Homo-oligomer: A and B are copies of this chain.
């Protein structure tokens, strides 16, 4: 009989002070098993025996054992007892082989956190762009999502930098920025927001190092593992990564005309304790869809009722080509108390600045600021100062007017080309491809018939020299395999037309191949049927 008191060393160590008893017991077993001191098949004391031995409540032992079972360290069999489980962990095997062996190397696979494993799994879903006959420089890619350099206002940035240097303001540029953000940029962003109806006081606003960081900070502040986030389906890939890496449960609500399906949205709030709603009301990534005013108001009303904060990600709202601007949710009645509004100029202006902002209720922003201090203390000053000057001079307004015309023209070129080259292509009576017509933003969202796969299409497309983003990446679970996302802002009209032409050819080849496959399969079925009859 093992000496359990010796193995478990029940005297509380200083570092465990305040830790619940069942945690301490669980940890002692965990350490002993992982360090190889309790080999596989070792029989553990029963709940009652251990409780008596350690002089703790039986439920304390039960909890400890239950967690050890969950962690795959022990097994419990009714009538037989509880046993140490075979440890397949390479760490333990490796450790047991290498104990006292000074030769180097760590089995990293065994060391990665669950967050890292999750992120790796998600990113491995991105299709690998395999080698193609087409040379890289001739490949036309609609898979992007950021503006190309052609419209970066470099001359203006250069002039701003020169002027700052001449005015002896280089010092400012290399100092720590206040954690909340450079005052000059804060003031400019407050002005920019005011034009949209969002009034941000100093304690409601925070400059962040880009949209990614904004989402991270909101998650850090509100989400524990297992908490539920409600989001649109499909949604922004990197937001999904962020939520899943921290083991939040993603509850998706399908998009319909005008926004999220409100019946399903309300049901989600009723059935679960939702900690956060994530939405992109303008020119959503990946669909380009926008949320109607009605839907915005309904969501705010329901979230108020059920006490759920909303992260409104307005990453590209400025790139509107037609139709009416709608107020941000934060500016609507009831919005101020529970909406965190995120914005950035990365898509409309220049991604290299890595700047964005969060505007939200003061008590929440206070905590988000703390999270930012722990994360990177503050955001680069140079970029903030340059951007502030740029905004102050009214240069952004001019820039927007210019790029809106250009991007609109490119959007129209893509739609025109789709109509011209693909509009007449059908398969079994259904169009080979249908597509959205967004009022702004960066993307068209296109759809193959049911049962067809954009990943399969991609292989044909690469052979033709065109690429796009496969739709299933934007779905949290299964789904979306028949969709593609096409970015229309990165090439000029001529190249867009050529790219769509190649896509049309790829579609033809894809559908031809499917036809052949089905014919063969039918043929095979007929033959087998014939065999059955003959036999």
Contact = CB atoms under 8 A, between A and B. Distances in A.
A169 to B, nearest CB: 9
Given A63-B69, A175-B149, A364-B108, A305 B370 contact: no
Nearest to A269: B35
B220 A113 contact: yes
Given A106-B309, A210-B376, A367 B116 contact: yes
Contacts of A123: 370, 373
Contacts of A508: none
Contacts of A406: none
A58 B79 CA distance: 11
Interface string A58-76: 1100110111011000001
A477 B14 contact: yes
Contact of A104 (B15, B177, B338): B338
A289 to B, nearest CB: 22
A361 B15 contact: no
Contacts of A100: 305
Contacts of A161: 161-162, 164-165, 170
A199 interface: no
Tell me the interface secondary structure of chain A in the complex. helix
Interface in A131-170: 146, 149, 152, 154-155, 157-158, 161-162, 164-165, 168, 170
Contact of A174 (B173, B308, B353): B353
A216 to B, nearest CB: 6
Contacts of A386: 382
Contact of A95 (B57, B63, B306, B354): B306
Contacts of A102: 301, 304-305, 334
Interface in A205-225: 209-210, 212-213, 216, 220-225
B370 A273 contact: no
B375 A108 contact: no
A103 B241 CA distance: 34
Interface stretch (A243-251, A396-404, A518-526): A243-251
A352 B275 contact: no
A170 B157 contact: yes
B383 A304 contact: no
A30 B105 CA distance: 43
Given A63-B66, A305-B99, A307-B95, A108 B374 contact: no
A375 B94 contact: no
A391 interface: no
Contacts of A120: 367, 370
A454 interface: no
Given A14-B477, A91-B307, A120-B370, A106 B338 contact: yes
Interface string A106-138: 111101111110011001000000000000000
Contacts of A381: 352
Contacts of A175: 149, 152, 351-352
Contact of A375 (B20, B91, B152, B212): B212
Contacts of A59: 66, 69, 76-78
A95 B306 CA distance: 7
A377 interface: yes
A353 B338 contact: no
Contact of A119 (B95, B170, B337, B370): B370
Interface string A82-108: 000000000100110011111111111
Given A17-B477, A27-B272, A62-B69, 6 more contacts: A59-B69, A95-B307, A101-B305, A154-B171, A173-B352, A176-B351
25 contacts: A15-B251, A22-B70, A27-B249, A30-B273, A31-B273, A59-B77, A91-B307, A102-B334, A103-B304, A106-B337, A111-B307, A115-B221, A116-B221, A120-B370, A154-B174, A157-B170, A161-B162, A162-B165, A175-B351, A176-B351, A220-B245, A352-B380, A354-B377, A380-B383, A383-B383
Interface of A: 14-15, 17, 20, 22, 27, 30-31, 34-35, 57-59, 62-63, 65-67, 69-70, 76-78, 91, 94-95, 98-109, 111-116, 119-120, 123, 146, 149, 152, 154-155, 157-158, 161-162, 164-165, 168, 170-171, 173-177, 209-210, 212-213, 216, 220-227, 238, 241-242, 245, 249-252, 270-273, 275, 301, 304-309, 334, 336-338, 350-354, 361, 363-364, 367, 370-371, 373-383, 386, 476-477
Q: Top 4 closest A-B pairs, CB basis?
A: A66-B66, A174-B352, A158-B170, A104-B337
